[in-house]
């Protein structure tokens, strides 16, 4: 209940193949909160410092302080309306904080060119947002040069390289979302923001996208994945941050929240130990 709680991304153990599809016991989710580490190999990709975002007199985010690491999948979870998507949108400056600071690799986001930043910090949205036209037309928006790079992008997400001429509206939801991921990868991002990208997908398509993304994290990409599905959190998270009503949950609240869902006991209460 401490609104100024500083909750660094909670460390989870490293993912192993044995974890695939297995919800880990909540105790294994928990690790000691890490101390500030803004240099060296543990330098966070994003640091939020006392970030508040007010919209229509409501604090969508309330003095949020947290960090997201490099080369791993950080999951941002919490109930609907907790501010997860808003927090994600602050990372590529689709929104800006009312007060507080967001740092990207130690530099204040407000001082960076937003257009260059957005090419380094790619985003995949909740619903597949293919533009009108073919996949090639879509990819040309991200990378006008096209050619081999477009085919490589399709292959990178497991779609046939000869699909460039295929109209976007002929794809299934899962294929479209993979095409959106491919389009995002064409800007050469070092961070991927995934805003509940599997919310409208069936389980097989969800697993495909999860595996693609965790694979990208293994190659060194930082992934911040918003999800309210805690079995998904268990499958993909290296670290997690729990948001409750616009603020970062205390360790106790986070444990209770994650435990509640993993044990399928319904929505977690605020009964922090």
Partner 1 sequence: MTATSVTTGYVGWVGLVASLALVGMAVAISLWQRLDLERSLVWASVRAIVQLLAVGAVLAVVLSPRVPLAVSWLWVVFMVVFAAETIRRRAPEVPRARPLALASLGLATAVTLLVLFGLGIFPLDARTIVPLAGMVVGNALTSTVVAARRVVAEFSDKRSEVEARLALGLSSRDASRPYVRDALRTAMIPQIEATKAVGLVFLPGAMTGLILAGEKPLQAVLVQAAVMFLILGAVATTSAAMSIGLARQLFTADHRLVRLSRATG
Least distance from C-beta 91 to partner 1, angstroms?
10
CA angle 73, 77, 83 (to 5 degrees): 120
Does residue 96 belong to the site contacting partner 1 (CB under 8 A)?
A: yes
State how far the alpha carbon of 38 is from the alpha carbons of 34, 52, 164, 197, 239, in Å: 11, 21, 42, 29, 17
Does residue 127 belong to the site contacting partner 1 (CB under 8 A)?
A: yes
User: Going along 99-151, which residue ranges are E strands?
Assistant: 99-104, 107-108, 121-124
- Site residues (CB under 8 A) for partner 1, limited to 227-246: none
Does residue 94 belong to the site contacting partner 1 (CB under 8 A)?
A: yes
Does residue 114 belong to the site contacting partner 1 (CB under 8 A)?
A: yes
Binding residue for partner 1, selected from 30, 105, 119, 166, defined by CB under 8 A: 119
Size of the site for partner 1 (CB under 8 A): 24
Binding residue for partner 1, selected from 27, 33, 38, 55, defined by CB under 8 A: 55
Pick the closer one to partner 1 by CB: 113 or 162: 113
Least distance from C-beta 52 to partner 1, angstroms?
17
Pick the closer one to partner 1 by CB: 184 or 261: 184
State how far the alpha carbon of 158 is from the alpha carbons of 114, 136, 151, 192, 236, in Å: 30, 16, 11, 18, 19
Binding residue for partner 1, selected from 6, 52, 101, 129, defined by CB under 8 A: 129
Least distance from C-beta 49 to partner 1, angstroms?
20
Q: How far apart are CA 259 and CA 105, in angstroms?
A: 32
Q: How far apart are CA 50 and CA 152, in angstroms?
A: 41
Does residue 93 belong to the site contacting partner 1 (CB under 8 A)?
A: yes
Does residue 183 belong to the site contacting partner 1 (CB under 8 A)?
A: yes
User: Going along 40-177, which residue ranges are E strands?
Assistant: 46-55, 58-68, 73-77, 99-104, 107-108, 121-124
* Residue 192 · residue 213 · CB < 8 Å: yes
Quick one: which of 156, 147, 215, 214 has its CA closest to 185?
A: 156
Does residue 49 belong to the site contacting partner 1 (CB under 8 A)?
A: no
Does residue 131 belong to the site contacting partner 1 (CB under 8 A)?
A: yes
Residues that bind partner 1 (CB under 8 A): 55, 92-96, 114-116, 118-119, 122-123, 125, 127, 129, 131-132, 141-142, 180, 183-184, 187
């Amino acid at each position: 209940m401490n609104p100024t709680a500083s909750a660094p991304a909670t460390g989870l153990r490293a993912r192993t193949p044995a974890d695939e599809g297995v919800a880990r016991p909540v105790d294994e989710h928990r690790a000691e909160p890490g101390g500030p580490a803004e240099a060296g190999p543990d330098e966070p990709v994003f640091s939020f410092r006392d970030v508040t975002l007010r919209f229509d007199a409501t604090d969508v985010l309330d003095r949020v302080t947290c960090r997201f690491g490099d080369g791993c999948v950080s999951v941002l979870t919490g109930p609907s309306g907790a501010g997860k998507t808003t927090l994600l949108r602050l990372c590529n400056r689709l929104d800006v904080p009312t007060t507080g600071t967001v740092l990207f690799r130690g530099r204040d986001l407000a001082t960076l060119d937003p257009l260059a930043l957005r090419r380094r910090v790619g985003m995949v949205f909740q619903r597949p947002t293919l533009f009108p036209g073919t996949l090639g037309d879509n990819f040309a928006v991200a990378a006008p040069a096209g050619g081999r790079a477009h085919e490589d992008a399709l292959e990178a997400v497991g779609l046939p390289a000869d699909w460039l001429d295929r109209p976007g509206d002929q794809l299934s939801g899962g294929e479209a979302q993979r095409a959106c991921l491919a389009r995002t990868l064409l800007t050469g991002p070092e961070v991927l923001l995934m805003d509940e990208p599997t919310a409208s997908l069936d389980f097989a398509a969800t697993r495909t996208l999860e595996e693609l993304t965790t694979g990208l994290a293994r190659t060194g990409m930082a992934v911040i994945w918003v999800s309210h599905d805690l079995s998904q959190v268990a499958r993909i998270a290296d670290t997690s941050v729990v948001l409750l009503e616009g603020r970062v949950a205390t360790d106790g609240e986070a444990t209770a929240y994650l435990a509640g869902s993993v044990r399928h006991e319904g929505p977690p209460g605020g009964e922090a130990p």
